[in-house]
Structures are given as structure tokens and as C-alpha cells.
């Protein structure tokens, strides 16, 4: 795989330096708030794709069905980080999925799509959606703040942590345990596209699906890509990455490197039966409206594979 040094990357893509989406390092100082419109190029987006059609449900263990119902819980209630978790039960047997958006505040395509997913009714099993996981970062349009931590580097979380996002990680996995969640679908945006800058790091993971350790390995990521890609343009094609190495709790982390062993891809090691899937859409020359649609298509396809939609 071609490796690009960060220096070469910054030279080739000056905008990369300014884009904070899904970078590895938490920011010491939040950048000046950027407008979502700033990420929109002038180029027209491809025609809207139709939603994927229903497919044969993916075979997974199913928890006992709960009565058909819908509720909203507040996580980190009473704090500035309070945010709603929507829980919908179909009343019919089926797996439970948890869709996560807004983990990073400068990735609007993810949380705007998750807002829509929160209104979907599961046809079987259960659907949990936390569309705005880091509301204070979203309000400032930054990845996160040092004093609350990076949610995607703090799993499995800690209810007593001084870092709000470490408490959030704990609350997310507690809900996943309570409802025997099969799939944790974590929606993100990266700046550049993986296919255009392979090996460049977390700033260039656009259009990728990464699956961490869990029972849906090894085929779910490719099934999801196979369902999506025929409906996407050549540049939008989703690439499947193996995330199993992120799940080792004792992964040695070289000094100065981010601890990716504590990303959501490690969640399968903390919740029995859970498989984490991280979806990244690229922001570079891809309009926000299209990124939202792509996330919505990815979420729908993933839930159809599980038979939830
Ligand atoms: Zn992110």
C-alpha cells in the first residue's frame, strides 16, 4: 500500500490541514468555527440514488421481542452534554441495531443522516439511534474539545470519568448491553477519499466501511458494500477495511500515536454479540447533501441486511 508522509499530504492538499474531520489527534485549540457550507464544492452531485431494495436478512441471533413501543432517553442528563437516545421496538422478533451520529462535531453529514434514521420505524427487532452524541462539539463545529475528550478514543467508557465523552461511551455500551445490540453503526466523515490517498491515515478514510471484531465478521462489510456500490458513482464506491486489529484491548500503542484500540471498533470486545461497523464519507469535493444521502443509504442497507427494515 502506498504510504504518504503527512508533510507530503499537507503539501498536496492544503485544505487537508484545515479540515479537522476524523483526524487522529484531538485538537489542543479548537479552530475557528467553519460553516457546513464551506465544505460544499460547486460541482453538481450525482443523481439521487434510490434506496436499496429489501434483501434476504442477515442471519443473526435475535433477542426476545419487546412490545412495540418508542421512547426517548436522555444520556448525560442534566449536563451541557445531554442528548436524546431514541429507542424503537417493532414488537416482532429480530436483532437490535444502534446507529450513532455526531461523535465528531465537524462531521455534519453523519449527524444530519442520523437525525433521519432516528425517525425510522423498525419492521422487526429494535432500533436505537443516538444522532447527536457530542452536542457541545457540534455547536462549535469542531471535532471535540480536550476537556470532554474524543468519544471515538474512549471506549469502553467510564461512568466516573471527568471526561464527558468517556461517560458517554459508557452510556452507549450500557444501552447496547441492555438491548442485546447486534450492530453498532458509527457514522463519520473524513476529509479526503481513501481510494485517492490510500494509507494517508484517519484524515483520508472517505468512502470506507470498517468492521471491528464481532459475530458479523467476516462477511458483513462486503455484503454492505455489495448492496450499496451498484447504486453509487465510481468516486463514491465504498471500500471495505478490516478493523479486527482495533479490537484488541491490549493493542500496544507506540508513544505519540493515538490509541485507536479504544475507538468504537473495539466495542465488540466489551458487549457480547455486538459487531461495530464504522462508515466514513469523504468531505472533499462531495456536497453535504450527498454525504447525508450516502449515510442514509448506508444505514438503510445495513438495517436491511439485518432484517430490521
Ligand atoms: Zn469522525
For the segment 2-45, what is each residue's pLDDT rounded down to a tens digit?
Answer: 444 444 433 433 343 344 456 544 443 433 434 443 333 434 44
Tell me how far the alpha carbon of residue 301 lies from the centroid of ligand 1, in angstroms.
Answer: 20
User: What are residue 98's DSSP bridge partners?
Assistant: 128, 184
Domains of the chain, start order: 6-24+73-247+258-305 (3.40.630.10)
DSSP per-residue string spanning 238-283: -EEEE-GGGG-TT----TTS--GGGSGGGGGGTSTT-EEEEEEEE-
User: For residue 22, how far is its CA from the centre of ligand 1 (angstroms)?
Assistant: 4
Instruction: Give 67 Cα–ligand 1 centroid separation in angstroms.
Output: 34
For the segment 66-78, what is each residue's pLDDT rounded down to a tens digit?
899 999 999 999 9
Question: Ligand 1 centroid vs 68 CA: distance in angstroms?
Answer: 33
Query: For residue 196, what is its C-alpha cell?
Result: 485517492
| pLDDT score at 42 | 39
Residue ranges, the chain, pLDDT below 70 = 1-63, 247-260
**pLDDT the model gives residue 296:** 98
Res 43: pLDDT: 41
Question: DSSP readout, the chain?
Answer: -----HHHHHHH-HHHHH--TT-SSPPSSPPPP--GGGG--SSPPPPPPPPPPP-PPPP---PPPPPSEEEEEEETTTSTT-EEEEEEE-SSS--EEEEE--SSTT-HHHHHHHHHHTTPPPSSSEEEEES-S-HHHHHHTSS--TTT--GGGSTT--TT-SSHHHHHHHHHHHHHHHTTEEEEEEEEEESSBTTTSTTS-TTS-BTEEEE-SSTTTTTHHHHHHHHHGGGS-GGG--EEEE-GGGG-TT----TTS--GGGSGGGGGGTSTT-EEEEEEEE-TT--HHHHHHHHHHHHHHHHHHTT--
Report the separation in Å between the CA atom of 280 and the middle of ligand 1, taken as the mean of its atom positions: 8
How far apart are alpha carbons 154 and 169 in whole angstroms?
6
Residue 240: strand pairing partners: 209
Given a contact cutoff of 8 angstroms between Cβ atoms, the answer to whether 186 and 295 are in contact is no
43-56 pLDDT tens trace:
444 445 555 444 44
Distance 197 CA to ligand 1 centre (A): 17
CA of 35 to the centre of ligand 1 (A): 17
Maximum alpha-carbon separation in the chain: 56
- Interval between CA 203 and ligand 1 midpoint (Å): 9
Measured distance CA(281)–CA(286) in Å, rounded: 9
Residue 199: its pLDDT value, please? 81
Q: Which residue has the cell 479486527?
A: 244
Pairing of β 275-282 and β 208-211: antiparallel
pTM listed for this prediction: 0.81
**What is the distance in A from the centroid of ligand 1 to the CA of 75?**
20
Amino acid at each position: 500500500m502506498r504510504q504518504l508522509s503527512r508533510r507530503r499530504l499537507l503539501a498536496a492538499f492544503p485544505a487537508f490541514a484545515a479540515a479537522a474531520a476524523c483526524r487522529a489527534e484531538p485538537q489542543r485549540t479548537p479552530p475557528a468555527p467553519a460553516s457546513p457550507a464551506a465544505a460544499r464544492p460547486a460541482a453538481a452531485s450525482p443523481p439521487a440514488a434510490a434506496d436499496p431494495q429489501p434483501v434476504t436478512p442477515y442471519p443473526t441471533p435475535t433477542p426476545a421481542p419487546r412490545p412495540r413501543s418508542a421512547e426517548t432517553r436522555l444520556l448525560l442528563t442534566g449536563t451541557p452534554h445531554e442528548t436524546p437516545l431514541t429507542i424503537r421496538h417493532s414488537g416482532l422478533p429480530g436483532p437490535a441495531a444502534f446507529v450513532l451520529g455526531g461523535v465528531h462535531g465537524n462531521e455534519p453529514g453523519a449527524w444530519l443522516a442520523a437525525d433521519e434514521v432516528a425517525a425510522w420505524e423498525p419492521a422487526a427487532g429494535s432500533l436505537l439511534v443516538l444522532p447527536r452524541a457530542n452536542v457541545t462539539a457540534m455547536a462549535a463545529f469542531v471535532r471535540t474539545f480536550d476537556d470532554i475528550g474524543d468519544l471515538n478514543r474512549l471506549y469502553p467508557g467510564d461512568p466516573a470519568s471527568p471526561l464527558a465523552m468517556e461517560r458517554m461511551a459508557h452510556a452507549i455500551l450500557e444501552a447496547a448491553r441492555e438491548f442485546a445490540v447486534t450492530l453498532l453503526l458509527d457514522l463519520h466523515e473524513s476529509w479526503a477519499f481513501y481510494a485517492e490517498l490510500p494509507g494517508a491515515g484517519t484524515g483520508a478514510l472517505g468512502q470506507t466501511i470498517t468492521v471491528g471484531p464481532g459475530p458479523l465478521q467476516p462477511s458483513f462489510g462486503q455484503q454492505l458494500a455489495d448492496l450499496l456500490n451498484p447504486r453509487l458513482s465510481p468516486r463514491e464506491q465504498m471500500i471495505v477495511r478490516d478493523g479486527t486489529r482495533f479490537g484488541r484491548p491490549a493493542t500496544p500503542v507506540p508513544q505519540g500515536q493515538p490509541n485507536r484500540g479504544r475507538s468504537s471498533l473495539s466495542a465488540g470486545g466489551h458487549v457480547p454479540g455486538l459487531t461495530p461497523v464504522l462508515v466514513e464519507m469523504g468531505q472533499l469535493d462531495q456536497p453535504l447533501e450527498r454525504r447525508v444521502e450516502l449515510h442514509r443509504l448506508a444505514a438503510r442497507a445495513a438495517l436491511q441486511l439485518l432484517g430490521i427494515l
